[in-house]
C-alpha cells in the first residue's frame, strides 16, 4: 500500500526525530567519555610512569617533635608556616631559613614551630600532587615521622606538577624511610587526613594566606621588605624578638 503525501511527511519527521535523538545520545556519550578520560588521566599517568630515582635523606634530630610541630608547647612565641610541598620557595625556606629558626629559637624553648598545609597549587593544574603529598606527610606523621617525610619530599622535588609526587613515588618515599608500609598505605589510600588538611587551608585563608610559604609569628604575618619575596631569617627574627620582649614584660 502506498503512503499518502501526509503520511510520507509524518514518517520523514519521525525518522528525523529518531536521527536527532541518536545524534544527541552520541554527543552526550562522547562528552561523558571525554570527562571520564580527563578524570582518569592522573591515575593513568601514575600507573604508567615508573617510580624513578629516589633521593635518600639522613634523618635529622629536631627538638621536641610533636607531629608537625616542634619545640615547647608553652613557648612564648609561636611560628606557623603555611607551605605547599610543590612550592619551590617552600623548598628553599625549609632548607635555608627553617634550620636557623629551629637552632636559634626552637631548640632554646623560645619558639613553638608549626607546619601548616596550604596545598593550593593543585587549583591551577589537572593533577593532585600537592594534596597527595600533604596526605602522605600526615600518614608519616601518624608514625611519628612527619619531619623525615617532609625532608624526603623536598629532597625529591623537581618542579611543579612534573610527577615528583605521584602516588607510587609517595609510597616509595615511605618505603625508603622504612615506615610500616601497610599502615601507611591504609592511611594514604583512605585519605584519612583530608579534613585536617582542609582545616589548615581554611585557617590559612582566614589569616590572609594566598601564597607559600607564608610565615605567621603569634598570628601576625611577616612581610618581606622586598616585594614578592619570602621574608629573610633576619626579618622573621626581628618580629620574633619583638614578641619575646613583649612577652617578658
User: Tens digit of pLDDT for each residue in 166-205?
Assistant: 999 999 999 999 999 999 999 999 999 999 999 999 999 9
Q: Is residue 45 part of a domain?
A: no
Q: Is residue 210 part of a domain?
A: yes
Q: Is the pLDDT score of 47 beyond 80?
A: no
With 0-12 / 13-18 / 19 or more C-beta atoms within 10 angstroms meaning exposed / middle / buried, residue 135 is buried
Q: Quick one: pLDDT band at residue 17, thresholds 50, 70, 90?
A: confident
Q: Is residue 37 part of a domain?
A: no
Q: Is the pLDDT score of 38 beyond 80?
A: no
DSSP strand E in the chain: where?
69-70, 77-83, 111-117, 214-217, 220-221
Q: How much of the chain, in percent, has pLDDT values that exceed 70? A: 86
Dihedrals φ, ψ of 220, to 5°? -100, 125
Q: Quick one: pLDDT band at residue 10, thresholds 50, 70, 90?
A: low
Mean pLDDT for the stretch of residues 116-142: 94
Q: How much of the chain, in percent, has pLDDT values that exceed 90? A: 73
Q: Quick one: pLDDT band at residue 21, thresholds 50, 70, 90?
A: confident
Handedness of CA 129, 69, 232, 153 (dihedral sign): negative
Q: What is the pLDDT of residues 54-88, one digit of tens each?
A: 999 999 999 999 999 999 999 999 999 999 999 99
Domain interval for residue 142? 69-247
Q: Is residue 216 part of a domain?
A: yes
Handedness of CA 25, 31, 37, 39 (dihedral sign): negative
Q: Is residue 101 part of a domain?
A: yes
Confirm if 173 and 156 have CB atoms less than 8 A apart: yes
CATH of the domain at 239: 3.40.30.10
Torsion region of 87: left, alpha or beta (phi above 0 gives left; psi -120 to 50 gives alpha): beta
Domain count across the chain: 1
Tell me what the pLDDT averaged over the chain comes to.
89
Q: Which of 120-124, 144-148, 193-197 shows the lowest per-residue confidence on average (mean pLDDT)?
A: 120-124
With 0-12 / 13-18 / 19 or more C-beta atoms within 10 angstroms meaning exposed / middle / buried, residue 248 is exposed
Mean pLDDT for the stretch of residues 135-149: 98
CA distance 86 to 234: 25
CA distance 105 to 89: 22
Mean pLDDT for the stretch of residues 24-28: 72
Q: What is the pLDDT of residues 209-234, one digit of tens each?
A: 999 999 999 999 999 999 889 999 99
Q: Quick one: pLDDT band at residue 13, thresholds 50, 70, 90?
A: confident
Confirm if 216 and 80 have CB atoms less than 8 A apart: yes
Q: Quick one: pLDDT band at residue 11, thresholds 50, 70, 90?
A: low
Q: Is residue 180 part of a domain?
A: yes
Q: Is residue 57 part of a domain?
A: no
Identify the pLDDT of residue 247.
87
Q: Is the pLDDT score of 105 beyond 60?
A: yes
Q: Is the pLDDT score of 39 beyond 80?
A: no
Q: Is residue 103 part of a domain?
A: yes
Q: Is 66 helix (H, G, I), strand (E, B) or coil?
A: strand
Identify the pLDDT of residue 244.
97
Amino acid at each position: 500500500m502506498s503512503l499518502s503525501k501526509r503520511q510520507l511527511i509524518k514518517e520523514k519527521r519521525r525518522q528525523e526525530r529518531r536521527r536527532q535523538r541518536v545524534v544527541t545520545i552520541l554527543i552526550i556519550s562522547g562528552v561523558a567519555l571525554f570527562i571520564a578520560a580527563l578524570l582518569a588521566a592522573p591515575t593513568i599517568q601514575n600507573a604508567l610512569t615508573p617510580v624513578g630515582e629516589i633521593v635518600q635523606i639522613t634523618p635529622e634530630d629536631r627538638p621536641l617533635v610533636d607531629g608537625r610541630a616542634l619545640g615547647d608547647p608553652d613557648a612564648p612565641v609561636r611560628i606557623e608556616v603555611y607551605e605547599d610541598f610543590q612550592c619551590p620557595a617552600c623548598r628553599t625556606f625549609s632548607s635555608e631559613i627553617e634550620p636557623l629558626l629551629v637552632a636559634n629559637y626552637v631548640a632554646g624553648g623560645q619558639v613553638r614551630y608549626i607546619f601548616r598545609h596550604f596545598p593550593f597549587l593543585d587549583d591551577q593544574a589537572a593533577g593532585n600532587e600537592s594534596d597527595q603529598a600533604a596526605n602522605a606527610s600526615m600518614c608519616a606523621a601518624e608514625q611519628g615521622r612527619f619531619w623525615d617525610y617532609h625532608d624526603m619530599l623536598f629532597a625529591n622535588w623537581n618542579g611543579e606538577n612534573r610527577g615528583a609526587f605521584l602516588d607510587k613515588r609517595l609510597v616509595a618515599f615511605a618505603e625508603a624511610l622504612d615506615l610500616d608500609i601497610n599502615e601507611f598505605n591504609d592511611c594514604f589510600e583512605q585519605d584519612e587526613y583530608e579534613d585536617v588538611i582542609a582545616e589548615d587551608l581554611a585557617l590559612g585563608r582566614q589569616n590572609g594566606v594566598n601564597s607559600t610559604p607564608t610565615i605567621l609569628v603569634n598570628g601576625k604575618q611577616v612581610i618581606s621588605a622586598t616585594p614578592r619575596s619570602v621574608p629573610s631569617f633576619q626579618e622573621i627574627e626581628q618580629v620574633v624578638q619583638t614578641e619575646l620582649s613583649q612577652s617578658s614584660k
